[in-house]
Amino acid sequence: MRRFSVAAILAFMMIAPAGASGAMPDEIIREAVDLLEAGLQGRRDELAADKDALYDFIDGILTPRFEREFAARQVLGKHWNEADESQRGRFIGAFYTTLVQRYAEGILEFETDRVEILPFRGKADGRYSTVKTNVRLDDGTKVPVHYDLVRKKDVWRMFNVKIEGVSYVKNYRTELDSEIRSSSLAAVIERLEAEAGIAPSE
């Protein structure tokens, strides 16, 4: 996949603001562009030099605005039903933290003038929706980036991004399914917690 920064797009996907009740899905994306631009204004060097500050910056915006449990369920697939409540909670936390840390630096490369938000053609009264955008690369070519949203209590939140047709949810589901089959769900959770720097549960 061509990468002007796939990480930047994925990180941007997670930082959409919690929309007001009744806000259209494309409005959520437009608000996200403005929020991210304002949040990075004058702070790129500071955040680049301090990973903890960068993680805090992302987490402060992301936590109430990304459908963590819904995304985690999509990623685990059938293994979600095999997990007990403790494992589900641990997986949600570890997976979320891993995503933040893995894609954090990509946020610093994000440039709002590269994003073209296409006219919204979906239904605003369903449970799921997709907002289509194009992101311009350095050579002028455009990469299609589509955001999947889920509506809960009349508020749209993001849970997936497709870059050139490739879904991050499906990629992680395939990767983790293979790992779970070769080891166990418990081992995968422990591996994610270790990667994220989360102390193991007693």
Per-residue model confidence as pLDDT tens digits over 178-188: 999 999 999 99
Name which of 10, 15, 34, 2 is nearest 169 in CA terms.
Answer: 10
pLDDT, one tens digit for every residue, the chain (202 residues):
444 445 455 555 545 555 555 678 888 777 777 777 788 888 899 999 999 998 888 887 776 678 889 999 999 999 999 999 999 999 999 999 988 888 777 778 777 788 888 888 877 778 998 989 888 888 888 989 888 989 888 888 888 888 888 888 999 999 999 999 999 999 999 999 999 998 876 5
Here the tokens at position 58 are 């992302």
pLDDT confidence of residue 78 = 96
Q: How many helices (H) and strands (E) does the chain have?
A: 9, 5
Q: Which residues contact 92 (CB under 8 A, 6 or more apart)?
A: 68, 69, 72
Q: What is the pTM of this model?
A: 0.82
101 in Cβ contact with 5 (< 8 Å): no
Question: Token pair for residue 83?
Answer: 């997990």
Pick the closest to residue 11 from 89, 77, 105 (CA basis).
Answer: 105
Q: Under a CB-based contact definition with an 8 Å cutoff, are residues 143 and 134 in contact?
A: yes
Complete domains list, the chain, with CATH: 6-196 (3.10.450.710)
What is the structure's pLDDT at 9?
52
C-alpha 90: how far from its chain's center?
18
